Every structure is written in structure tokens, then in C-alpha cells.
Structure 1
Amino acid sequence: MKKPLASLLALGLAGGGLWLARARQANPTTASPLPLSNGKRITPLGEQVNVGSFPTTLLPSPDGKYVVVSSLGARSQLTVLDAKTGKVVSTLTPEAIGKKKPGLYYGLAFAGNTLYAARGSDDVVSTYTLSDDGQLSKGALAFEAPNAAGVAVSTDHNQLYVTRSYGDPKDKLKGELLIFDTKTGALKKKVTLAGYPLDIAVLREKVYVTSEQAGGVDVLNAETGALLHRIETGAQTTKLLRVGGNKPYLLVANAGSDTVSVIDIINDTVTKTILLRPAEARGIPGVTPMGMTVAPPAPTRGGASLLYVACADLNAVAVVDLTSGNLRGYLPAGWYPTAVALTEGGLLVANAKGVNARNPNGKPAEIAKGVQPQYIQNIIEGTVSRIASPMATKQTTGQVLTNNALSQARATLKNPGIEHVIYIVKENRTYDQVLGDLGKGNGDPSLTLFGREVTPNLHALAERFVLLDNFYCAAEVSGDGWNYSVSGMASEYVARNVPYGYTGKTRPYDYEGTNNGGVPDRLGVRDVATAPGGYLWDKAIEKKVSLRNFGMFTDSLTAPRTTAEEGTTDERTVPVKNALLGVTSDEFRVYDTSYADSEAWVKHGLAPAPKQKPVYGKKGDKSRISAWRREYSELLATNKMPKLMLVRLGRDHTAGTAAGQSSPRAMVADNDYAVGQLVETVSHSPLWKKTAIFILEDDAQNGYDHVDAHRSIGFVISPFVPKASHDSRFFNTDSVLRTMELLLGLNPMTLYDATAPALTVFGARPDNDAPYTAILPRKEIIGEVNGRTAYRAKDSERLLNPLAEESEADEELNEILWRSIKGVKSTPPARRYGPLAAVHERD
């Protein structure tokens, strides 16, 4: 039976759970519904202007004439908008500081016509002067503030408060607030706070500070900086907003709880908590409230004040009656709205990822000449929308629900008899790069880099089971890719810091269980990067579903990651999540491209490559699959096979053309054979007819694909999958998660996986049950080793650590792989963005 996720919508409206404004003509949308790689659609209201990469903050000038926008991505800039028209008046790129790539981060604050701008890992707060005609010029003072995040000025303009987006691994990841003298620039005091503090509000004699890690709000004495107390509000607190005249109060956006807290600043107590989730999504996180603004009382609204909240993961602005605390409805926004501001011209909305699902990428033909390569993080253009009449109506609210798949029916998935699920996550390949030469499906063989001779098993499995040629990675790069792969979404911290860190900024790789080199779970504090719904393994434990982990979220506790995507040279494999203790194989090597995934090199009698790690673990395993196969056999023999098995096989990432490493073709072929060996082992076991194997890439590395740079390879392998199936419906990372959840009886983690189309590709009987025999790639391919004269070998060594995933090397690595395989003189093709329209009926 098909049921809409929003089956209680009508009841919720009738009961007043979701008040909809009087039906009026909705603002016309600027675009038709656009399918995104994460499965959602956007229909942004209003007029758009481009404001650089990933805008995070909108700040009206004191005189109300202008609004300043801060963008933190690859094209980091300050943009001044006309408050009436929303048009761009001027832009300013921050000045370079030493050899660092200049940029901005988050916080903005005005004191008169002086603008303070936090610059993150530039380790400074810069000042600028805003002229009467809307031009910005560099100010005289700069404040030395490492990891500068939020900024605020005291009421007398004599003190500047700055948060550091930071957690001290030597002090339980505690954060810090810096207090400066605005006249001299001198640092007056450092105050220890909850970890990863972000926004600041100054009200009377007190200072309020949010914490992305701990949640809640720290309250300090404005003059001395003394910590007075904490106010518990919700998870992942982000934005603060002072409201009111004679009786002011404070609003707090709790991004991880999907709520806004109202704080009485006299007693510092929470007087009201406003839930922003639609009625049909209660209990499931994924709205992510961020920036806020308030419209004063008006007779046309019955004297009510309206609160507008940017709901980043809903791609919408929530409209709330502050008097009653009731949610009035939603306004459709662009992709990932982060901030809002009310002006004479209407409502301005910052859309961090813009309004286009299709972002064309030109040919990176000049990369080798030193020109900055085109890359998914620097081609997505952020925008600001101006909505002239921001009224939440039944039509606008219904559009938001439709865009988020909250009002449509979903086919239920009936488990045909699957008891065991194996989930394999690989690294960074598009569909065309691997299966473009398959001969069936929507492929382009001219873009294929690792075709049938390199990946014979992936080709054979796609032909025998189900070919998914409209499958997408939900994320852009590995930082958010791994969070989508195991959590169904990326938290607001990850969503903001990935585009910041992947554009050359020095920032720790906090996205796989470590924060600033520390391990939060071991320190007894919250992981700042954890998505609000937790992890797949948490849901398994919640339902008492047995599991075993091979390589996911593993590191070394004696030498954890300390820099962007850095691995560890330690010989131990240890889970960084407490929930994975006792269920993680310590014989399965952590991410390391110098260590083999498969036994192919052994079967061919080859010597290890010069920089290959030949063995690992107490048993001296020569590949990851060797360790996995041994444990699988032991689990079979002892009748302890888990219901859920997690396996990380990442060597298809490659090490580029770094001298002494196996070539890209060799590493991808090795990875392919590991998949083949795993399927062979399972298909010859007595549990084959009760097993389903799901395989995907964590992200598509912005690679070449004639449909979209997010399109990737995905596999469902089971005797219940009809032979030689072909399914061109839209599926993505969350589709795999949702399917596994339904098969194992797990609750969804977030709105992303809850609403994702399940992979309904199973038949009623396990008729496709013939054992599979892995295909060994040719010896010549497995044995390929990069020489010193290989194309851009030194660049590969500079860009890639075999123990680390890429930080901003995607596009350069794509170009290296293309020319090393296709020929030095060949031109990489243009990139395409924008998945095919989601079709949820079987072709």
C-alpha cells in the first residue's frame, strides 16, 4: 500500500499544528523544479543576485541603506547590496595576509560605519569602512584572532568579542572567546567556553555565545568576560538574534534540534521552544534552522510579530508567529539557505549553494600552466534572493513540502527474505569513468577511464544483477560524502566547513570521528561534525541488529588525524566511535592507498610496488580482502554472522601518478577484484540466498560524466535481484541507506533518507542464485607502477598522501588521471551538473 509521508497533513492543519497564511497569489518562482543530487528540488522565490561561494551571513548597515554579505567559499568576498532593490552595489575581496590564501569565514558586526569581518584560519578580524555610497575600504585596525568565527561589539563600541571555531584536544575540546580593545587592537582577555563557539550577542551587561559542539548558550559578563552560567537550549546552536525594545529577549537557532529557543534575558531562562519541522516530519531531524530575522507587529497580521528562519536542509524559510509560537508556513528558497534579512525591499535570503542544480564546468585545459582548476566547490555560485512580499501561503508551504518529498506517496519495500546486508563504500568514481563502455544504459564510452579490462567485475555484476544508470552521490567531496554515506546528511558544521577547508584553507579534517586531532568519543564530549540523526550503526544498535565493521571511521588513538584528511602511520586500526568498539576488525587496514584491497598481486606472483605496503596485521595479511575473508569464514563457522556488515574499500581513489606507487589503473583494478572476491565468497556461502550487497562511492570526485558530475556507480547484488535488470529511475546515496533500513527494520536517521526512494529492485524469489566467480584483471594492469617520468608524478606526490583523502586535489587529480590514461595531449571534457529528472516509475 502506498502512503504519503505527509498523511497527517490535513489533520495537522485542521488542528492548528501548522497555521497557513490566508491564500494569496504566491510570489512567482524563478525556475522550474530542479532535481538536486541529494534528491530534493528547489523552486526559489524572488529575484537573484550572485554573491560568491557559499554565503553565510547577511548584515544590514546601521542606517538601513545596505546589506553586507559574507561568503566563505572559493570566491570569498564581501558583497554590498542595496537594501531596497537587492542589487549589488559593490564587492570587495579581502586582502592577503602573508602567504595565506585570503578569505572570510562567518561573523560580521557593525560599529557605526566600521565593519568587523571574521576571517577564520586567516587568524584575523579585519576592519572595513562602509561609505555613504556603499563602497567598502580597508580599515586601519586588524585583530589577531586564530580561527576567528563570530564577532560582536559592546554597546559602547569599546570592546570586540571574537569566537574561535576551535576545540582544544588537550582540554576536552573546549572553545575560546577573545576580548579586544577596539581602540588599540590589544587583546584584553581569553575566556574558555564550550567547544566550537560560533555566534555572539551583546545584550545590556551580558554576552551570549552559541556552541556548535555542546549546544546551548554560554552567558558572560560583558565587561569582565567572567563566565556566569550556561543556558541549555538544543543541539548545534548557531545563530543568535536580539528582539524587542523595552522588553528585549533573545532567539537561539538550534540547528541540530530543528528548533528556535526564546530566552528571557532578565532571568536567562528558556520561555518557549518553537519546532520548525513540518507536522509530517515530527521526530525526524533535517530542517537545520540557521539565520533569523523578525518583522515587527503589523495590523495586517493581527498585531503579530513574524519570525523568518532560514532552514538550510529544507531549502526553505520558515515563517513563525512569535506571539503564539505557531509555525505559519514556509517560503521556497534556493539550495541551502543560511541567512535572512528584512529590508524596505522585502526579505533577502542567502542561498549558500545558489539556485542552479546545473552548474556547467569548462574544460580545465590550462591546469598544468598554473591556472586555478575548475572544481565543484568553486563553480557553485551562491546567491541572495529578494522576495518582495514574503507571505507564507498554502501554495508556498505546499511547494516546500513537495520539494522535500513530504507530500508524495512512496512505494513500500517488501523484504523478500533478506536477513544479511553488506554495505561497501568505495572512493570517488563517476558512472562514465567506469561503466561508460558497458554497451547498455546511459553511458558515454569516450569518457571511460577504467573500462571493462580494468574493472571486469564491476561490469559483470552490473550486467548480471541490476544496472543503475541514474544513480547519484548526494555529496560533493569526501568530507561531506562520508557523512552522507553513513548518516544520510551532513551537519551544518560539515556543510559550512567542507567548502571552506576544500579551497586551500588550513582547517583540520573533522569529518570522520576526530575533531582537531582529538577523538570526541574518547574525551566524553560530542563530535561537532555528527549529523543530528547519528549514524547507521547507531540505528542498528537501537534495534539490536548485530553488526561488524571493516574500516569505516577507524584511525589510531595514538596518532589521530591532525591536518586536513591526514591518515596515520600507526599500525593499529581502532574505531573512533564508541559505538563501534567491539564490533570493528583490528586486522582490516585503515584507509591507505599503498596497501592492497585485493589478492590480485599475490595471485599473479607480482612483487609489491616500490611504495606498496606488503603486509599488515598480526596475521601478515597481504590485502584487506584477505582479512575480511578470514573473518567471514570464522563468523560462518561459529554461526555469528552479523545482520549488517560495513566494509570500506577505498583504493579506487588512487594515488595519481606518484612515482613508486601502483598506477591508477592498477589500483582501480585491484579494488575491482576485491569487490569480485567479496561477492564470490558470499555467493559460495550458505547465506547467499539471504544476503544483499550494496556498493557505492562516497562521492564522485567531481569527475567526468556526460550527465552530471555527481552521477556515480551503484550496485545491488543479491539472488533476489532479477537477472540482467536495468533501472533508470533516480536513486542516490540516501536511497541505499533507506533500502538497508527497510530490509533490517531500522528507523530513518534524517529527512533525507526518510524521504529517499528505496531501491525496489528485488523479485519475490532468489532465482539469480548462481555462485559468482571473481574475474582476475590482467597481470599487466595489476602490475603497472608509476615511474619518475609519469605525467605530473611530482604533482601527485605533492597533492596526495597515500594515507589521506584529497582536500582540494579533486580537479587536479581528475586531470592527472585523464591525461595519464588518455594521453598527455588529450583535452579533458567539459563538466556537467544536474541529474536527470527524478522518475519514480520503473522504465
Structure 2
Amino acid sequence: MKHLLHFLLLFTCFHVSAQPKPKTYTTLQVPGRAEFCRIDTGGRSVLPSGRYVTPAGKTIRITNDPFGLALSPNGQRAVSLHDGVLTVVKLKELAATRIPDYAGKIPAALKEGSFLGVAFAPDNRTVYLSNGDKGRVLIFDTDQHQTIDSVALDGNGYTDSFTSDLLLNGSELLVLDRANFRLVRIDLSTKRITASIPTGRQPFGLAISPDKKLAFVANVGLYAYPKVPGVTKTNKDTMALKFPPYAAHTKESAEGVEVEGRRIPGLGSPLVDEAMSVWTVDLNTSKVVSKVKTGVQIGEMIEEAEVVGGASPNSVVVGSRYAYVSNATNDNISIIDYKSVGRGGKKLAGTIQLRVKSTLDRYRGLMPFGMALTNDEKTLYVTLLAFNAVAVVDVPTRTVRGLIPTGWGPTRVALSPSAGPEQMLYVTSARGYGAGPNGGATFVKPPQGTYIGDIQLGTFQAIPVPDAAQLAIYTKQVLDNTYQPVMVTDDGRNPLPVLPKTRQSPIKHIVYITKENRTYDEVLGQLPSANGDSTLARFGVGVTIKSRISTSRGTSGRTTDRPGDTVRVTNADIMPNHVRVAKQFAFSDNFYCDSDASIHGHHWMLGTIPNEWVEANAASAGRFDPDSKAPGRRFPKASGAIDPEDYNEIGGLWEAFERNKVSLYNFGQANEYAGNVEEWTTTQFGAAQSVVFPMPKAVYPHTSRDFAGYNTNVPDQYRIEQFEREFTAKWIKGKQTMPQFVTMQIPNDHGAGPRPDFAYPYLHSYMADNDLAVGRVLHFLSRTKYWKNMLVIITEDDPQGGVDHIDAHRSVLLLAGPYVKRGYVSHTHANFGSVLKMMYNILGVPYVNQYDQTASLLQDFFTDKPDFRPYDAVLPDVRVFDPKAAMKPYKKTFDWRKIQKGPEMDDRADQRAEHYRQQDEK
């Protein structure tokens, strides 16, 4: 007995010592991680990111996306410019008039779009407005609420102009034409163009020196994109490129390549003067006298990370000697000593690093945009588009003195004309307090509508210039709104480590599946264990389809029932696999897309914060024309790809994995560019290019050449066959091991118009196709040898097509795998940052930006007791979607019994032959 006790004691000691010792780490997480989104204009609102907004001063709500702002010379009025909308604010009363108004009494002034530019005349009532896509300047009377004249930029050999920023210079207007890469001078007495001065690519920001002698143009374009040789309007279906010809910032992209039997021209170097730069124009001679590259340059190294994104210099303010340029990508301000330009002196006089907190400053995530300089030139106010604040910069010391809280996505800041204790700051924010609900039993439809882009109003703030004590309070408030230090004890058991590189996770493979345009309630709102509204679950189970003909606008997927709609199908299961996966594995009822639409969504979900160019471009109507003589008309304006102009400083998810040697493979992401040819026959890659656009270098060689990305004409069932075929060939039967990270786009829940001849009689048919594809992917993956160490993440890129009773941004997040809890619903506030943090922590990859760093930690989804049971896919209602019929045009069969059997496993004969082949090579 004595020896037995001694043995047990030794065993117990050994067992205890073998257990991992708990460690406590400090994490940064959003303050709203235990809350659902909400709007509280009198308190604090919770954004989709989990951050708070508490705008300082007095705040009113205005139309969404105010990207232009001007004050009248007497300081009594402000005008903000939106896409096709003008807001006139009486500053004393802080009362806003929307033009057009919702009642229909005030007609529209900007019926055909607008972009950035607005300037007041000396009479305090006349304003000059950018007419954006129409290439005109409108002259508007703010007293009479009507357009009184206009000036077209076309002529003298220029066509397809696009009016960008503008300003008044005495008796003339200076206007940027972003389509033709020029600065236009207009004589207001004759309404004639007196000069057209070349600029860099995509001129965006415009400023003038106090002595009116110099104009400064900030160019945000990186490349001028050429048309694919040989493509015409009539042959693009056959002659467009089937796959991007090269990766960005490579020898091939610089010099061109031979692809598909044609010589594809290169884009040149991203370091040329025309690319992302600030040009200075002498207004006496109408000549460019200086071209300055600001910020950090592509190819430089920052803390062992290569810079892949240009500086994106976007706004300029000018003092008596120095011009200040906001570099969005670099979170800094460049200082140009313009007085020394042309006299042998330095052009760049220094940099102001926008440092806000030591715990955050190693990562980017501020996105400086609009600026205002005090009359004494000692203080610079900078809107931080991605940080929901205005930075107060002390110019003499080149440091951030403090922060002022704003609405979500501040765009512009202006100072009242009078200095002193009564001076005011005026700030516009693109998304204000957020969107809030846009449906549900208690929802009351507001006058602006319910679409996410309409219901989400901007804000206009009037803030007394704060003294030091008030600024200290504001600064603390901004930081508290953004993150909290959270102590987390890690016992070594949860498959999701607390931080990257702290320990190994049993999860070795992540499959990241992204879909399109759905909200939580319309798919999962029926689930009784969660915070849903079953009345909005139009794509759930047991639903009724009322109309055969969709009333969707374009391809947004938005539908409404009309009086007299006919009931076509009752008790239909539209997305049974989504419901089944949610019940069997785990899902969130508190997950939100940071995005409104695809152009934002495909940035956020791949770890890229949309910059000022993405946001402003997305908020303005613009015509893409590959045949135009105006080079700016061939700009991608992508909705499903990240353009070189959009790249963050050190990139996003792809670049992070490449730096850390995480193996990856991509099915269908990063392929949707403007002008794409998307037909039902475009099945190899989903789309073809008529203009030459590159892909990010980190993912280009790891992207499938046989997978149809975004193209709702192609069935998701076809994509799944492509996926299963390549997966099997490479990683089951082939020599290669499945990569650590795999992305996959399954886009048909975006929806489109009914196509009954192709097995899509209803909008709901696209959802059912998408649902079956999701079920099939899980069915397949859970029967592979990799399943035992796999995590599958399923989400949407954006929620724009749907409605939700909590918030228009709330969307679908499903997790599946052996280490995911079974039958679990997470109420932790989550967003794309949370998903990225999850992937980075599991795969041991350092964070890329402040959104990853401060996101909520979703450890509650996981268990250390794996359950290896596979998932069994189910068929949706055949009355809504018949997969056999959908595959007939491609002469392919839909074999449900074969699908149910799962992937083809290793064939012994094949393996034996491969074994001896390798032996012969030794």
C-alpha cells in the first residue's frame, strides 16, 4: 500500500506538472463587446465595429456621405455635398435644409451626381458645386434653393470630364477634372475655360496659397489603366482577358507580358511623379512648378514589412510658408516647404506622425482626411476617417495635442471665420451614429427610406474650440470609445489563443467562405435561441413566396411585395442548410459587417481598411468607360476587388500571411473589376477583363485559375464542382498538403432578377442555390482527412440587400469544425475585425491594423473537446431551386447520391504508381 500511495503521489505530481500553466495576457478589445448595435443620439451609440460614438458639441443628422463642405465668408451658413444631394445649414440655429427635401417641395439641384467640390461666393448665398460624373460646375442660389447656371468642363479636345474638388480664386474657379487628369481654370465673368493644366492621376484635393499665387493638387491615383488590346464593344465576350495578366507592383506589371496570344501593356512604376503625389501650379503662368512624392513609398520597409500601398495624399491646407498634406495610408502629414521650391531648397520639410496612444501607434488605422489650419498656423485639425475623431495637431512641436470625438467616419472639418474664444469647429461624418434597424414589428419607416445607404444618415457637428482641459476630456472619451485593455487568462485549452504566437492551436486549416448581401434576420431570424425577428426571415424555412417577378433594383437583391402579388409557393425551405449548420455547430446573433456594400465589404473582410478614395468614390455615381479618351474613366471603381489605389500601407490579410509564411489558396476572391464580362458561359474564372487590372501580388500565384468568382449568372453548384475537383486533385489525390488558409467566394445569395429558363424563377432561387452550395462544401470538407484540424468560417461581405430589426449591418456568421461548440449561439459583439483576429491568433500571424488589434476575442465559440462528426447536407425546396435544371445548360449532371458519399478518397493503385514513380526519380 505504501508503494501504491507513493506511485499515485508521483503520478499526480507528474499529471499536474504536465498541465499547461495558466498565463494572463492584456488584450485590447472594443468597449461594446457585450452589447448589440444601437443608436442613442443623447448618449452613446454602438457601431458595427463594437466601438462607441459620442459626438462632441451640438450634432444634427444630415444625409449620408457628406464628402464636400464649405462655410460662407460671414460664417452664417455651411453647405455639405453628398451624392446628388445638397445640405444647407444655418449655423446659428444649427438647422439643416436638404435639397431636394423628402416632401418634394424643393427640387433637386444635383440630379446627376456630385463629387467633393463646393465653394461659396463672396455674396454668402451663391455656391459653386461639383456635378461629378456629368463634368460640370453648377452655380446654386442657397436663398432660392435653385440652380441658376452651369459651366461644362468638356471642350477644347477634352471629353467625358468628371468634376472633382474646386475652389474660388477671386473672379475665377479652379476645378479638378479627375477623368482627364487636369486642373481647369474658369473665368466666371465669361463662363469660359482659360486653361487646362495637366496633373497627376486622379486629382482629388485642391488648395491655394494665401497670396493666391500657387495652387496645390493632391493626386490619389496610382496607375493609368490601359484597355486590353483587341477588345471592342462587339467582341468583348470573346476577346476580354480571362484572368488578370499580372500581379501589382511586379516586373510584369511594370513592363507588360505576353498573355492569351497578345502583348498586354504594363502599368509602369508606382513611383513615378504622376502617381500619388502633390503637384504645385504657378497661377501666373499656369505651369506645374513642383511634383512632390509625400508619405512612405511603395517598396520601402517598415519594421520588416514591405510597403505595398501608396501614401494616398488626399487633402492639402496651405500656410504662409508650408503646405500640409494628409497621407491616409501612412497615418501622417507631410510638410512641403513651398517657398523654397524652385530655388534649390528642400521640398519636403518634415512629417507629422499622428500618434494617438502608444498601445495603438505601431499599427495603422486612422486614415487622415480633411484638414483645417488656424489663422496663426499653430494648430492643425485633421479628420481621422477610420478613428471617428478629429486630431488636434500642435504644428510647432509636430505632435498630436488631443482628439475630439465625432460621428462614424469624419470626412471634413472647417473653422468659423472669427478667431478667439467664440471660434467654432464644424465637422461632417459620413455615417454619423450608424444605420440602426431597417425592419421589424416595431420599426417605423423614416422619410429617407430603409435601404442601408439611405437609412444611415451622416452628422454635422458644431463644436466650440476646446481649451486644454476640455481637450483632455475629449481625448479620453475618444480612446474609451475605441478600445479597452482586457485581462484574459489563457489556460492553454481553448483552440483560439488569446494572442498570436503565444502557443499552438489544434486548428491547422481555416476555410474562409464569404457570401453576398444578406442580413441576419432574413436568413436566421427564425432561430428561437437567438435575438431574431421571424417576420423578416424571408429566406428561412417554411416561408411563402408571393411574387414570381422580383422587384429588385439592379442587382442589389432588394425586393418588396406589391399589392396584388400572387402566392406562388408556400411552406418552402429556402436556406435549410444555413439553419441546420447554425443548429448543429455555432453562430452569432451579434455579428455585423463593417461595410454597407461590396466595394467596402471585400476590403474589410480581407483585412484592408477602406481609404478616403474608396469611401468617396463609392459614395458617388460614376460612369466607367473602357473606350473613353479620358484615362480616368478606365479607373476600376471595383466592387469585389481591392485596387492598387486602395492597398493599405503593408497590405491586409494576404500580405500578412505571405510575410509569415502561412500557406494559402484562393477560390474566387479579388476578381470583380469594373467592366467585367459576366455571362452564364464565363465559368472558368467567373469574369473577363476589358481593361487591364492587376491582382495583389501576395495572392496572385495562389489563386485558382478554374473557379468562377463573382457572377450570379453562374450557379453556385457549378462553383462547388470546380472546388471539389481542384481540392481532390491537389490535396487528396495529389502530393500537396492542404494549405493552412483557404478562401472561397460563394456569391449567389447576392440575388439577381428571375431567370426561369435557367432554373431561377424567383429571387429566392439564388438563395437556395447558395444554401445548397454551403451545405455541400461542409459535407465535402467534413469527410476529408483534414477535417480533424479544420475551422470553417462562413459569413457575408456586406448586408446591403436585406433588413434587420437590430441593425442594417447585422449579418450572418457561422462557424463549423470539430473544435467549434455544438448547438451554440454567441452573443459577443463581432465584426470582420473579430474574424480576422480569430484567424491571426490561430495561425500565429501578427495583427495588421488597429481594427484587428482592438476587435473582440471570440473564444466563446470554441471547445477543447473535439467532435469529429461530419455534416450532412440537405436539399432546398425543389419548387424554388432545382439543381439538376441549373446544371443542364452546362451539360453536367447533378448526382445527389454521389454528393452524399463525399470526396473520392485515395486510390490504392494511384498511390502505388506514385510511390514507384518517386522511387525511380531518386
Task: After TM superposition, give the deviation of residue 423 of structure 1 in Å.
Answer: 0.6
Residue-by-residue CA offset, 1:185-236 (whole Å, 9 max, x unaligned): 2223333322211111222432210012233311222234322231122211
Report which stretch shifted further, 110-119 or 212-221: 110-119
Task: Report the 3-state secondary structure (helix = DSSP H, G, I; strand = E; otherwise coil) of the residue aligned with 2:820.
Answer: coil
Matching residue within 78, 83, 86 for 1:73: 83
1:544 partnered with 2:661: yes
CA distance in 1, matches of 2:826, 2:879: 34
CA distance in 2, matches of 1:227, 1:438: 63
1:179 partnered with 2:208: no
1:149 partnered with 2:164: yes
Task: After TM superposition, give the deviation of residue 552 of structure 1 in Å.
Answer: 0.5
Task: After TM superposition, give the deviation of residue 403 of structure 1 in Å.
Answer: 1.0
Residue-by-residue CA offset, 1:702-738 (whole Å, 9 max, x unaligned): 5122222211111111101122222111112221122
Contact 2:440-2:536 within 8 A present in 1 as well:
no
Corresponding residue for residue 355 of structure 1: 433
Corresponding residue for residue 433 of structure 1: 522
In structure 2, the CA distance between the partners of 1:569 and 1:228, relative to structure 1 (3 Å rule), is: farther
1:164 partnered with 2:177: yes
1:384 partnered with 2:393: no
In structure 2, the CA distance between the partners of 1:648 and 1:165, relative to structure 1 (3 Å rule), is: same
1:124 partnered with 2:154: no
Corresponding residue for residue 655 of structure 1: 752
Residue-by-residue CA offset, 1:668-705 (whole Å, 9 max, x unaligned): 22211211221122211111111111110111125122
Task: Report the 3-state secondary structure (helix = DSSP H, G, I; strand = E; otherwise coil) of the residue aligned with 2:669.
Answer: coil
Residue-by-residue CA offset, 1:115-174 (whole Å, 9 max, x unaligned): 3221211321122456xxx776644452436211111344xx3443211233x7xxxxxx
Matching residue within 22, 38, 41 for 2:52: 41
In structure 2, the CA distance between the partners of 1:778 and 1:443, relative to structure 1 (3 Å rule), is: same
Corresponding residue for residue 217 of structure 1: 278
Corresponding residue for residue 287 of structure 2: 226
Report which stretch shifted further, 684-693 or 632-641: 632-641
Corresponding residue for residue 106 of structure 1: 116
Percent identity among equivalent residues?
29
In structure 2, the CA distance between the partners of 1:93 and 1:530, relative to structure 1 (3 Å rule), is: farther
Alignment of 1:505-516 (within 5 A): 506=623, 516=633
Task: After TM superposition, give the deviation of residue 506 of structure 1 in Å.
Answer: 4.1
1:499 partnered with 2:619: yes
Residue-by-residue CA offset, 1:353-382 (whole Å, 9 max, x unaligned): 223553656999999xxx995422122222
Contact 2:586-2:821 within 8 A present in 1 as well:
yes
Corresponding residue for residue 715 of structure 2: 596
Alignment of 1:793-812 (within 5 A): none
Contact 1:261-1:273 within 8 A present in 2 as well:
yes
CA distance in 2, matches of 1:731, 1:776: 30
Corresponding residue for residue 806 of structure 1: none
Corresponding residue for residue 739 of structure 2: 642
Letter in 1 for 2:282: N
- From the CA coordinates, give the structure whose radius of gyration is larger: 2
Letter in 1 for 2:205: D
Corresponding residue for residue 547 of structure 2: none
Corresponding residue for residue 259 of structure 2: none
1:334 partnered with 2:407: yes
Matching residue within 697, 700, 724 for 2:823: 724
Contact 1:51-1:79 within 8 A present in 2 as well:
no
CA distance in 1, matches of 2:145, 2:462: 22
CA distance in 2, matches of 1:526, 1:251: 26
In structure 1, the gaps of 5 or more residues are 8-28, 169-174, 298-303, 599-622, 787-843
1:54 partnered with 2:65: yes
Task: After TM superposition, give the deviation of residue 758 of structure 1 in Å.
Answer: 2.8
Contact 1:539-1:746 within 8 A present in 2 as well:
yes
Task: Report the 3-state secondary structure (helix = DSSP H, G, I; strand = E; otherwise coil) of the residue aligned with 2:788.
Answer: helix
CA distance in 2, matches of 1:186, 1:765: 73
CA distance in 1, matches of 2:739, 2:458: 45
CA distance in 2, matches of 1:38, 1:276: 22
In structure 2, the CA distance between the partners of 1:241 and 1:449, relative to structure 1 (3 Å rule), is: same
CA distance in 1, matches of 2:475, 2:782: 49
Task: After TM superposition, give the deviation of residue 520 of structure 1 in Å.
Answer: 11
Corresponding residue for residue 725 of structure 2: 630
Report which stretch shifted further, 694-703 or 645-654: 694-703
In structure 2, the CA distance between the partners of 1:726 and 1:97, relative to structure 1 (3 Å rule), is: closer
Contact 1:466-1:726 within 8 A present in 2 as well:
yes
1:292 partnered with 2:371: yes
CA distance in 1, matches of 2:464, 2:636: 47
Matching residue within 298, 304, 322 for 1:249: 322
CA distance in 2, matches of 1:266, 1:79: 37
Task: Report the 3-state secondary structure (helix = DSSP H, G, I; strand = E; otherwise coil) of the residue aligned with 1:671.
Answer: helix
Corresponding residue for residue 2 of structure 1: 25
Residues paired across the two proteins, number: 698
Contact 2:165-2:175 within 8 A present in 1 as well:
yes
Task: After TM superposition, give the deviation of residue 567 of structure 1 in Å.
Answer: 7.7
Corresponding residue for residue 282 of structure 1: 361
Corresponding residue for residue 802 of structure 2: 703
Contact 2:660-2:845 within 8 A present in 1 as well:
yes
Corresponding residue for residue 470 of structure 1: 590
Corresponding residue for residue 449 of structure 1: 538
Matching residue within 707, 712, 716 for 2:811: 712
In structure 2, the gaps of 5 or more residues are 1-23, 31-39, 155-160, 222-274, 296-310, 342-346, 417-421, 491-495, 498-503, 542-572, 689-693, 886-922
Corresponding residue for residue 600 of structure 2: 480
Corresponding residue for residue 805 of structure 1: none
Contact 1:665-1:784 within 8 A present in 2 as well:
no
Contact 2:636-2:643 within 8 A present in 1 as well:
no
Task: Report the 3-state secondary structure (helix = DSSP H, G, I; strand = E; otherwise coil) of the residue aligned with 2:340.
Answer: coil
Letter in 2 for 1:101: K
Letter in 2 for 1:551: G
Task: After TM superposition, give the deviation of residue 426 of structure 1 in Å.
Answer: 0.5
CA distance in 2, matches of 1:769, 1:89: 59
Task: After TM superposition, give the deviation of residue 177 of structure 1 in Å.
Answer: 2.2
CA distance in 2, matches of 1:656, 1:363: 28
CA distance in 1, matches of 2:185, 2:743: 46
CA distance in 1, matches of 2:649, 2:93: 34
Letter in 1 for 2:336: I
Residue-by-residue CA offset, 1:623-668 (whole Å, 9 max, x unaligned): 1111111111122231332111110001112224355341333322
Alignment of 1:669-708 (within 5 A): 669-708=768-807
Alignment of 1:516-531 (within 5 A): 516-517=633-634, 527-531=644-648
CA distance in 2, matches of 1:567, 1:778: 26
Contact 2:355-2:399 within 8 A present in 1 as well:
no
Corresponding residue for residue 819 of structure 1: none
Report which stretch shifted further, 544-553 or 409-418: 409-418
Residue-by-residue CA offset, 1:235-276 (whole Å, 9 max, x unaligned): 111221122xxx432121112211122221212422231122
